[in-house]
Amino acid sequence: MNKTATLISDAHTLFYLTGFETLSPNEREAVLILVNNERYIVTDARYAGYISPRYRLIITQPGEGLFTTIQKICNEKGVSALIYQSDNLTEFEASHLKKGSIETRGETRLFIQERSIKTQNEIGYMRHACEIGDKALFQLIPTIVEGQTEQEIAWRLEKIIREELHAEIAFDPIIAVDAHGAIPHYNTKKGSGMVTNTSTVLIDFGVKYKNYCSDITRMLVAKNAKKDVVSTYQDLYRAQTNTISKMNEWNYLRDADVFCRSELMKLGHPSFPHSTGHGIGLEVHESPRLHAKSNDAKQVGQIFTVEPGIYYEGKWGMRLEDTVVVTPQGSVELLTRFPKELIHLR
Amino acid sequence: MNKTATLISDAHTLFYLTGFETLSPNEREAVLILVNNERYIVTDARYAGYISPRYRLIITQPGEGLFTTIQKICNEKGVSALIYQSDNLTEFEASHLKKGSIETRGETRLFIQERSIKTQNEIGYMRHACEIGDKALFQLIPTIVEGQTEQEIAWRLEKIIREELHAEIAFDPIIAVDAHGAIPHYNTKKGSGMVTNTSTVLIDFGVKYKNYCSDITRMLVAKNAKKDVVSTYQDLYRAQTNTISKMNEWNYLRDADVFCRSELMKLGHPSFPHSTGHGIGLEVHESPRLHAKSNDAKQVGQIFTVEPGIYYEGKWGMRLEDTVVVTPQGSVELLTRFPKELIHLR
């Protein structure tokens, strides 16, 4: 009698399958065991009250580790083979698991494909997250004036999302002025930029609603910004919108990356040091990828970003990003609807 | 000629050794290679501008993964053996590393002991983080009145820390009213508790200053709280303060856990479902541990929390927590100085 169970250790997939949420997804606070049609969540006594019909809760004994309890349950349930996430467990954790009498097998990308195809419910949550983001931008932008720091603007955006729109932020907002905009992962919290009358201002942020994330980037320019900034934005705008409107022509998402990147390079702009987009859902970055080396096929119900950038290191940088969903017709629909024209500061 | 290099993949130790900080510590955005006296940070082009005399930056080629670049550098530098963090790399990542021609060896707890002993600089940062936390509490507490929700109070606390005291939060504040206080990892963001005229209110939060964290918990009661809540708090108060004042008597931190827990159990209270404390620094939870099964010796310069709790599931719960540093005399000094007496709401 061979009974195989599956161990889910990553917190997002655990939530996806059960709705169970720990306080610190990056600490190993809980795991899920799938065996036959049963779901066991193994966690410690801090979560004893988290009861739900969607799973059975098993609390580790004081001083007994998760991995010992996993072995015990598998033995009790007559499990002879256990599949685990080798792209989530550390090598050290996996070595613990292998010490028991149960045969183990590491697999990668478990439930990644399932998670990348959003249900109608999930699309609804993400549509709402994107709408909240649009509203936040409408409220934020008229308040941005010369003399404000990146950190001030980021904090005001966060307050609008949390205090006025009653949602969460999906990640710390990036507000990047001038040369900071050329650093694709600029850390606003550690920066000291300020809006001047010649500035470019990059705003990249996401909203989280019912655990699902949105992601959007828009560009502002101050009234005395250089003319080549404005004309360069037109190139970016065309490349991004053309990529979105041609999405129905492609079967593989790498084609979107190749097209979008080459559109910009044909006009003499440098290639951007990141992919053209990424899947988004419970995590800000998840499957699929819009990258030249990606093998991800376009599929109905995928939600991903389209976000080319033009970066001139030490000078200025710009990015334009939307979150889109693949429709049954194979085209994509914008979930982020905030206008994409370059925004001129008052 | 055997040249051994060490690969540091966890973001906190990478920051500890180099000051290099990525935007998403939980995504694999950068690794550090230590070879002889040189430090190479391998990352992608998004971080090309992050230059420092403390390390040399190596940017992966487009489409080339971190692990391929690591192999290349090791080959270039004549490295024959590479030590890696088997408690940080996933099994899948480690299997990539092993594919190359370089001998590899997984080790656990690399730099954990070093990080647990704080330098004078680090103690200064953490002292400051704790002081900010004290100030935040002094500002917050007079504003708490009946009818407020947990989420309102948590958000006001966060605003005080970020907007008025110009620091960051170390984790989402836990505000737990009544029975929610009996859930040690209560998720305030998902909760709906409200302060009434009989409530207990648990406030557990941390401040981050220059990447170093503080952690403190204090208890409030409304004016018509049950008398046994007040008397139970006295038991908790005595157990916590006695544990702190007796710390000089113990060589091993497990003794603090055994003592503190048994003090409460002697008085008829239940054992609490977590350790008596945890090391804290760049991470909210790090080495050492104050736990019955811990082998961690007490050492000068360690900073940890002391945080027993008394939890009556479904009824109410309380916890009292300070962050302390081990002095050269082997006793501990409080870094969190906010008064520990039970706070009575107006």
Please indicate whether, in this complex, the C-beta atoms of B48 and A273 are within 8 angstroms of each other: yes
Tokens 């990003």: give the residue. Answer: A321
B106: nearest CB among A44, A91, A183: A91
* Closest among B189, B195, B173, B202 to B284, alpha carbons compared: B173
Please indicate whether, in this complex, the C-beta atoms of B49 and A313 are within 8 angstroms of each other: yes
Nearest CA in chain B to A274: B46
CA atoms of B56 and B54, how far apart (whole Å): 7
Residue A292: list chain B partners with CB under 8 A.
63
Which tokens go with B164? 């008025």
CA atoms of B202 and B180, how far apart (whole Å): 9
Query: Helix B120-140 crosses helix B150-159 at what angle (to 10 degrees)?
Result: 130
For the question of an ipTM over 0.90, the answer is: yes
Which tokens go with B165? 């005291």
Residue A106: list chain B partners with CB under 8 A.
91-92
Q: State the pLDDT at residue B23.
A: 85
Which tokens go with B14? 């990478």
Mean pLDDT of chain A: 95
How many cross-chain Cβ pairs, A to B, lie less than 8 Å apart? 110
CA atoms of B180 and A189, how far apart (whole Å): 32
User: Which alpha helices (DSSP H) does B141-226 contain, by range?
Assistant: 150-159
Please indicate whether, in this complex, the C-beta atoms of B62 and A22 are within 8 angstroms of each other: no
To which CATH superfamily is domain B115-344 assigned?
Creatinase/methionine aminopeptidase superfamily (3.90.230.10)
- CB-CB contact of B40 with B58 (8 Å): yes
CA atoms of B327 and B213, how far apart (whole Å): 19
Q: Model-level pTM? A: 0.94
Please indicate whether, in this complex, the C-beta atoms of B285 and A90 are within 8 angstroms of each other: no
Q: State the pLDDT at residue B101.
A: 87
Please indicate whether, in this complex, the C-beta atoms of A171 and B24 are within 8 angstroms of each other: yes
Query: Beta partners for A142?
Result: none
B90: nearest CB among A23, A29, A89: A89
Strand ranges for chain B from DSSP E: 4-8, 30-35, 38-43, 56-59, 81-85, 103-107, 168-169, 174-177, 200-205, 207-209, 212-213, 216-221, 277-279, 286-290, 303-306, 309-312, 316-319, 322-326, 332-334, 343-344
CA atoms of A62 and B292, how far apart (whole Å): 10
Residue B62: list chain A partners with CB under 8 A.
271, 273
Q: Quickly list DSSP for B102-149.
A: SEEEEESSTTHHHHHB--HHHHHHHHHHHHHHHHHHHHHGGG--TT-B
Please indicate whether, in this complex, the C-beta atoms of A106 and B87 are within 8 angstroms of each other: no
Looking at the complex, report in whole angstroms how far the Cα of residue A199 sits from the nearest Cα belonging to chain B: 20
- CB-CB contact of B82 with B9 (8 Å): no
Please indicate whether, in this complex, the C-beta atoms of B187 and A23 are within 8 angstroms of each other: yes
- Tell which of A43, A46, A68, A91 to mutate to test the B interface (max B CBs under 10 Å): A91
Question: How far is CA A285 from each of CA A228, A280, B24, rounded to the nearest angstrom?
Answer: 32, 5, 11
A89: nearest CB among B21, B91, B291: B91
Q: For chain A, percent helix, then strand, then coil, each to nearest 5?
A: 35, 30, 40
Q: State the pLDDT at residue A2.
A: 77
* Closest among A107, A101, A109, A205 to A162, alpha carbons compared: A205
Please indicate whether, in this complex, the C-beta atoms of A274 and B46 are within 8 angstroms of each other: yes
Give the three-class secondary structure for A211: coil
Quickly state the pLDDT bin for A346 (edges 50, 70, 90): confident
Residue A314: list chain B partners with CB under 8 A.
49
Q: Which residues are CB-neighbours of A145 under 8 A, at least 6 positions away?
A: A195, A345, A346
Q: Quickly list DSSP for A83-146.
A: EEETTTSBHHHHHHHHTSSSEEEEESSTTHHHHHB--HHHHHHHHHHHHHHHHHHHHHGGG--T
Residue B97: list chain A partners with CB under 8 A.
none
Q: Which residues are CB-neighbours of A166 under 8 A, at least 6 positions away?
A: none
Which tokens go with B333? 């000094």
Give the three-class secondary structure for B164: helix
- Tell which of A90, A278, A316 to mutate to test the B interface (max B CBs under 10 Å): A90
- Read off φ and ψ for residue B278, nearest 5 degrees: -145, 145
Q: Chain-centre distance of CA A185, in angstroms?
A: 14
Please indicate whether, in this complex, the C-beta atoms of B23 and A185 are within 8 angstroms of each other: yes
Instruction: Compute the C-alpha angle B278/B283/B285, nearest 5°.
Output: 25
- Calculate what percentage of chain A has a pLDDT beyond 90: 90
B163: nearest CB among A47, A88, A155: A155
Quickly state the pLDDT bin for A267 (edges 50, 70, 90): very high
Provide the greatest CA pair distance for chain B. 76
Looking at the complex, report in whole angstroms how far the Cα of residue A223 sits from the nearest Cα belonging to chain B: 28
- Read off φ and ψ for residue B107, nearest 5 degrees: -130, 155
Q: State the pLDDT at residue A26.
A: 85
CA atoms of B81 and B5, how far apart (whole Å): 6
Please indicate whether, in this complex, the C-beta atoms of A21 and B187 are within 8 angstroms of each other: yes
Residue B94: list chain A partners with CB under 8 A.
91
Which tokens go with A225? 């910004």
* Burial classification of residue B38, based on how many CB atoms lie within 10 Å of its CB (0-12 exposed, 13-18 middle, 19 or more buried): exposed
Q: Which residues are CB-neighbours of B294 under 8 A, at least 6 positions away?
A: B252, B253, B254, B257, B275, B288
Positive or negative torsion for Cα B60, B65, B69, B70? positive
- CB-CB contact of A170 with A284 (8 Å): yes
List per-block mean pLDDT (blocks of 10 residues) for chain B, which spans 346 residues: 91 97 88 95 88 94 86 94 97 93 96 98 98 98 97 98 97 97 92 96 98 98 94 98 98 98 97 96 97 96 98 95 98 98 93
B63: nearest CB among A46, A155, A293: A293
A1 pLDDT more than 90: no
Tokens 């050329």: give the residue. Answer: A182
Please indicate whether, in this complex, the C-beta atoms of A62 and B313 are within 8 angstroms of each other: no
Higher pLDDT, A21 or B62: A21
- Is the domain spanning A116-344 CATH 3.90.230.10? The answer is yes
Please indicate whether, in this complex, the C-beta atoms of B46 and A183 are within 8 angstroms of each other: yes
Looking at the complex, report in whole angstroms how far the Cα of residue B131 sits from the nearest Cα belonging to chain A: 21
- Of A15-19, A59-63, A87-91, the poorest mean pLDDT is in A59-63
Quickly state the pLDDT bin for A25 (edges 50, 70, 90): confident
Which tokens go with A197? 């009358």
B185: nearest CB among A23, A26, A92: A23
- CB-CB contact of B219 with B342 (8 Å): yes
Looking at the complex, report in whole angstroms how far the Cα of residue B154 sits from the nearest Cα belonging to chain A: 12
Question: How far is CA A156 from each of CA A137, B127, B189, rounded to the nearest angstrom?
Answer: 11, 29, 20
Please indicate whether, in this complex, the C-beta atoms of B89 and A91 are within 8 angstroms of each other: yes
Instruction: Compute the C-alpha angle B205/B19/A154, nearest 5°.
Output: 55
Give the three-class secondary structure for A203: strand
Residue B93: list chain A partners with CB under 8 A.
87, 91
Positive or negative torsion for Cα A282, A285, A286, A287? positive
* Burial classification of residue B147, based on how many CB atoms lie within 10 Å of its CB (0-12 exposed, 13-18 middle, 19 or more buried): exposed
CA atoms of A264 and A239, how far apart (whole Å): 7
Residue A162: list chain B partners with CB under 8 A.
155
A242 pLDDT more than 90: yes
Question: How far is CA A4 from each of CA A37, A74, A104, A286, rounded to the nearest angstrom?
Answer: 12, 9, 9, 27
Residue A63: list chain B partners with CB under 8 A.
291-293
Looking at the complex, report in whole angstroms how far the Cα of residue A39 sits from the nearest Cα belonging to chain B: 22
Looking at the complex, report in whole angstroms how far the Cα of residue B328 sits from the nearest Cα belonging to chain A: 31
A44: nearest CB among B23, B24, B273: B273
- Read off φ and ψ for residue A241, nearest 5 degrees: -70, -35
Nearest CA in chain A to B9: A90
The domain ranges of chain A are: 4-110, 116-344
Q: What CATH topology corresponds to A4-110? A: Creatine Amidinohydrolase; Chain A, domain 1 (3.40.350)
* Burial classification of residue B253, based on how many CB atoms lie within 10 Å of its CB (0-12 exposed, 13-18 middle, 19 or more buried): buried
Residue A48: list chain B partners with CB under 8 A.
273, 313
CA atoms of A226 and A222, how far apart (whole Å): 9
A54 pLDDT more than 90: yes
Please indicate whether, in this complex, the C-beta atoms of A313 and B106 are within 8 angstroms of each other: no
B86: nearest CB among A44, A92, A182: A92
